[in-house]
Amino acid sequence: MIVGRLGLGGRFLRGTPSVIHKIGRNQACVVPFSISVAECYSNTPFPINHKEAQEKKKLEEMPKWRQWGIYFQSQEFKKSMTVYYLLGFGALSVCFYYYMRDRFYEDKQLKEIRLKYDEDPSKLSEYEYLMLKAFSTDKLKPKERKKFILYQMMRKEFRRKNFFDYNAVFNPSPAELEDWYSKQAVRSTKRVPLNDDTEEEETSTKNADNAHIVPGSDTTEFFEKKAEQYDKEIKWEERAVFMGRRRRWLMKNLRGDVLEVSCGTGRNIPYLDLDNIDSITFLDSSSEMMNITRSKFRKAFPKYQKAAFTVGRAEELADLASRSSVKYDTIVEAFGLCAHQDPVKALQSMAKLLKPGGRIVLLEHGRSTWDFINNHLDFRAEKRMKTWACRWNLDIGELIDDAGLDITYEKRVHLGTTWLLVCKRPEDPISLEEKPFYNKLFGKDVPQIKKA
Ligand SMILES: C[S@@+](CC[C@H](N)C(=O)[O-])C[C@H]1O[C@@H](n2cnc3c(N)ncnc32)[C@H](O)[C@@H]1O
């Protein structure tokens, strides 16, 4: 800051308007007014000392994160901490208020929906039904979950628009959702990716509206040729993501009479515990792959008699079911749905071969929970089909829904691309272990939410 007195220049600056700066007890310097004015715009009216200038330069050369670090340790920052704390607390309080206000509306609406459901379930709108199911112990099906997420996104916008309207109730019709969704900018498809039950098409690999999914084809020939190399080529890919752990989980679920569909080269055999099962049947459409499974199994369990090795297509299991009385307690499949021509039909066939209370246990790979991964899967879909005869961008949840199965256990790993699933037929009750914690603890049933 300039501390000075206005005057007229002395000996050297005669007649020039000047500012007299005091620089010591008995010393002063006269600076022409024009220079002083320029200095007024600068932060350093007096030449700063060399050390200070060097330090300043050093600081400026440091990376930004270090500069911030030094600032956070400085007295200047510490002094202003109280203000920062107060500002932070204020901002959090505002967020918390709006979050709680939103929960309040949600809870209020839920109470009304429950009353409506008790009166007449058919009166519920689609959103109300999904909301009721989402907040109950009954699980949303994968397609329902997807749709509910869209409704929730629409709801956020609705709440923003009706910020001050305390009585506004969010309850759009499916058509309104469709309309809202079609106006969203960042979507590859402009349709709500789910249809109502009424619109059910014939089963096939719909996997709904993803145009990037390569049409299904019979991959048997590919695997006949690949069989020899398969283990060698897949080994490192699987080791890198610790797939052994997932295969162990898969094989832990086996009970009673077991059918392994698309057994490939028998990569699950090392995790098989024969003490838990009564018999095991392996099925694959490729005889070359099956030969490798057979020799691996014989080597691992030379004395085990109750094993069968069948070459056939999973889609044709339904015919087998109608011709024979053979049924299974557990049907297991690892990374097979992506290779089937019609995975929905294959799943439906498996369901027909289940004994009452039986389970289908799946370890599959498909769409991720992350959009950026899905974009990559879509982008490389054709290449993947050529190199591995594999449709890696299938939505496994949707396939299960299309096959009419219920999911009793679901876990997604590897950024959501690996699906660990236990499925059952809708008519079978869920077992005690499959119940949610609260219901298990108090021995309560899980009430099913149904629209009509
Ligand atoms: C990617 S491999 C998976 C093999 C094995 N389950 C594993 O975990 O490594 C897919 C397997 O499915 C078989 N496959 C393809 N289409 C099939 C079908 N329609 N029915 C039965 N198996 C099929 C192939 O022959 C191949 O062995």
Q: Which atom of ligand 1 is nearest to the CA of 222?
A: 25
Would the CB of 394 count as within 6 Å of ligand 1? no
Q: pLDDT per residue over 281-290, tens digit each?
A: 999 999 999 9
Would the CB of 263 count as within 6 Å of ligand 1? yes
For residue 41, what pLDDT is reported? 53
Residue 419's SS3 state is strand
Domains and CATH numbers, the chain: 4-47 (no CATH), 120-199 (no CATH), 220-441 (3.40.50.150)
Q: Could you tell me where the DSSP H helices lie in 301-362?
A: 317-323, 343-352
How far is CA 435 from each of CA 137, 140, 194, 369, 432, rounded to the nearest angstrom?
A: 9, 14, 27, 24, 5
For residue 202, what pLDDT is reported? 45
For 426, residues 6+ apart whose C-beta sits below 8 A from its C-beta are 404, 405, 406
The tokens of 438 are what?
Answer: 């609260």
261 neighbors 332 (Cβ within 8 angstroms) = yes
Q: Could you tell me where the DSSP H helices lie in 168-285?
A: 174-182, 220-240, 243-252
Q: pLDDT per residue over 313-326, tens digit each?
A: 999 987 776 777 88
For 314, residues 6+ apart whose C-beta sits below 8 A from its C-beta are 261, 262, 283, 285, 333, 336, 340, 346, 349, 350
Beta pairing partners, 4: 21
Distance CA 244, CA 313 (A): 26
For residue 203, what pLDDT is reported? 42
Give the distance (Å) from ligand 1 centre to CA of residue 285: 7
- Mean pLDDT split into 10-residue runs, the chain, 452 residues: 44 49 56 49 61 86 92 88 93 93 90 92 92 88 92 92 84 92 67 51 55 91 95 93 96 96 97 95 97 97 95 88 84 97 95 95 96 94 94 95 94 96 93 79 77 69
Give the distance (Å) from ligand 1 centre to CA of residue 220: 8
The helix (run of H) or strand (run of E) holding residue 99 is helix 75-119
Give the distance (Å) from ligand 1 centre to CA of residue 233: 15
Q: What pTM did the predictor assign? A: 0.75
